[in-house]
Structure 1
Amino acid sequence: MPASLPSISGSAAVPVVVLGSAVLHALWNGLTHGLRDKLAGFTLISLASAGCGAVLVCLAPLPDPAAWPYIAASAALQVAYQLLLLRAYQLGDFGQMYPTARGTSPLVVALVSTTLLGHSLPAGQALGIAVISCGLAGLALADGIPGRAQLPALAAALGTGVMIASYTLVDGNGVRASGTVFGYIAWLYLCQGLVLPLLAWARRGPSLLTTLRPLWGRGLIGGLLSLLAYGLVVWAQSRGDLSTIAALRETSIVFGALIGAVVFRERLGHRRITASVTVLAGIAVLQFAGGA
C-alpha cells in the first residue's frame, strides 16, 4: 500500500513511483475504454473506490481537520473528471482522447503553481516540462487538427485535463495538511467513490444492475488499478514538487499510445513514435535538472 512507501529512499523513490502509477493509469483507462457500456465501467470503478475506502477508513488515522476542505474539493473535482472522461470516451477514440486529456494537465499545474501559489520553477524544470508538454501535444495531434465534428469530444477531453490539474493541486496541498497520507487517501476514495454510482442509478434505475453483471470482473480490476495508481501519486505529492510530478505522471500517454496500437489496433505511425521519444527526452531533462 502507498502508506508503506516511505521506507523507500525518500525523494529518490518519487520518479519511480510516479512512472509506475503512469503505467497503471494507462492500463485502467484502456480496460475501461474497451467496455461497450462505459457508464457501467466507470460505475464499477467508483464502486471499487468506495468499497476500498470503506475498509481503509477503519484502519487509517483520521486526517487533520485542516485537510477536510481539501478532501471535499478533491472528491467533487474527481467526480467531474470522471464524468468528462466518460463523455470523451463515448464521443472519441482512445488514441486521441486519452493523450489530449492527460496532456492538458502539466501545463495547467505549472502555470497555476507558479503564478497563483507562488511555487518556484527553476529553468531546468521549466525546460523539462515544456519538452514533455510538446511531446504530449504531438501525441494528441498526431492524426491532424480535429474537425468540427470532433470538437465536442475534444472539449470533453480538455475539460478532463483541467479537472486533473485541479485535483492535482488540491491534493498536493491537502495531503501535506492532513498529517497522514494513508488517511487522506482512504477518505478521498470513500467520498468520491459514492457519487457516480448514485448518479448512474438515478439515470438507469434497477436496469443498471443488469448491465453491471457481465462487466463486473473487468470493471473492478480497472477500479483497483485506478485506486493503486492514484494512491501512489498522492504519496509522491507528499514528498515531491507538484509541477514535476504532474509532468511525470502524464507519461502515461506514452503507455496509452502503445495500448492503443497493440490492443485497439490504432495506427502508431512515425508521428506518435517521435512524440513519445520527445516525452521521454523531457523526462531525462527533468531528471537531470533535479526536478523530481
Structure 2
Amino acid sequence: MTPLGFALVLAAALCHATWNFFVKRINGGPELIWLFSVLSVALYLPLAVAIWVRSAAFDLTQLSFIAGSTGLHLGYFLVLQAGYRTGDLSLVYPTARATGPLLSSGLAVAVLGEAISWQIAAGAVVIVFGVFMLTGGVRRSAGNATVSLAFGIGAGTLIGSYTAWDAYAVSALAVPPLLMDYASSAGRSIVLAPVAFRRRADVLRHWREHRGGVLAIAVFNPLAYILVLVALTFTPVVFVAPIREISVLVTVLMGSLLLGEGNLRHRLGWSAVILAGVVLLASSA
C-alpha cells in the first residue's frame, strides 16, 4: 500500500469517527440526516460545480451506479441512526465496522477480481477479531447489547455493499469521487425532505441547540468518504476497507472519555490489537 493511500484512509478514519461522535451526542433521527445533508450540499456546491464543469457527460451506466450508491448510503444512515438511538456508540459503530470490511473485501476478491495475499488476509482478520472482541465478543448477548449488535451488523452489511459498489464506480467507471458522494448527499436531502417537514420543530431544535455539531457533521461526513473514494481510485478495496477500521480506535476513546460509556481499559486493550492488524495490513506489499 502506498504512503499516500494510507494517509488518505487514515485522515478519512479520523473524519469518520468525528462525525459519528457528534451524531451520537445530538441523538437525532432522520430529520438530523436531512439537516446535515442539506448543509453538506450547500457547503460542497462550489467544488461540485467546478468538477462537474470539467467532467465529461455521464453515461447511463455511470448514472445507474450513482443512483445505486445513493440508495445504499441512505439505508446505511437510517440503520445507523436507529442503532445510535437504542445502543452505545462504542458498540454499534465498532460492530458495523467489523462486518463491513469482511463483506467488502470478499466482494472485492469475488466480483472485482482483486488479489489477496496471506499478509493482507491476516491483517484483516486481526482487525475484525479485535473489533469483535472490543464489543464484548460472545458474552454480550442480552438486553440492549443484542439490539446494538443487530443494528451494527445491519449497518456493516450496507458498508460492505456500498464500498465495493463505489470502488467499481470511481475506479472502473471513472466517476469523480466528490460528485459520487455529492449525489448521495443530494439524494438524501430529497428523499428525507417530507420527513424533515413533518419534524421541522426537531430540525429547528437541532440547529438551535447543536449548531456547531451539525456543521461539523456536514463538513466531516462527506470529507471522510471523499478521501476514501480518492484512495480507491488507485488502492485496492482489500487494503482500504480494513484500514478504515482505525476509526474504531478514535470512536471508542470518544465514547468512553467524552460520553461516559466506560470500560476504557478493556477497550484500549483491544484497540491495540486492531492497530496491530492495521500495521500488518498496511505494511504488506
**Cα offset for 1:239?**
1.0
Contact 1:236-1:245 within 8 A present in 2 as well: yes
**Distance in 1 between the 2:197 and 2:157 partners?**
26
Q: How far apart are 1:248 and its partner, in Å? A: 0.6
- Indicate which of 50, 75, 78 corresponds to 1:83: 78
Q: Deviations over 1:192-237 (max 9, x none)?
A: 3424541522542x43443343133311211201111111111001
Matches within 5 A, 1:136-215: 136-141=131-136, 144-179=139-174, 181-182=176-177, 184-185=179-180, 187-195=182-190, 197-201=192-196, 203-204=198-199, 206-214=200-208, 215=210
Tell me the equivalent position of 1:244.
239
Residue identity (%): 25
The equivalent position to 2:122 in structure 1, one of 116, 127, 146, is 127
Q: RMSD over aligned Cα, in angstroms?
A: 2.3
Counterpart of 1:62? 55
CA displacement at 1:186 relative to structure 2: 5.8
Matching of residue 282 in structure 1 with residue 277 in structure 2: yes
Letter in 2 for 1:288: S
What TM-score do you get using the length of structure 1 for normalisation? 0.87
CA 272–48 in structure 1, closer or farther in 2 if over 3 Å, else same: same
**SS state of the match for residue 49, structure 2?**
coil
**What residue is the counterpart of 1:4 in the other structure?**
none
TM-aligned CA distance change 1:119 to 1:148, over 3 Å: same
Report the equivalent of 1:28: 19
Q: 1:153 to 1:199 in 2, by over 3 A?
A: farther
Unaligned 5+ runs, structure 2: none
CA 1:280–1:259 in structure 2 vs 1: closer, same or farther (change >3 Å)?
A: same
Q: CA deviation at 1:45?
A: 2.0
**Cα–Cα, structure 1 residues 156 and 186, in superposed 2: closer, same or farther, change >3 Å?**
closer
Deviation at 1:283, TM superposition (A): 1.2
| Deviation digits for residues 72-128 of structure 1 (CA, Å, limit 9, x no counterpart) | 111110000000000000110112111111111111112222233332211111111
Q: Which stretches in structure 1 are left out of the alignment for 5+ residues?
A: 1-9
Aligned partner of 1:223 in structure 2 is 218
Aligned length: 280
- Preserved contact between residue 75 and residue 188 of structure 1 (Cα < 8 Å): yes
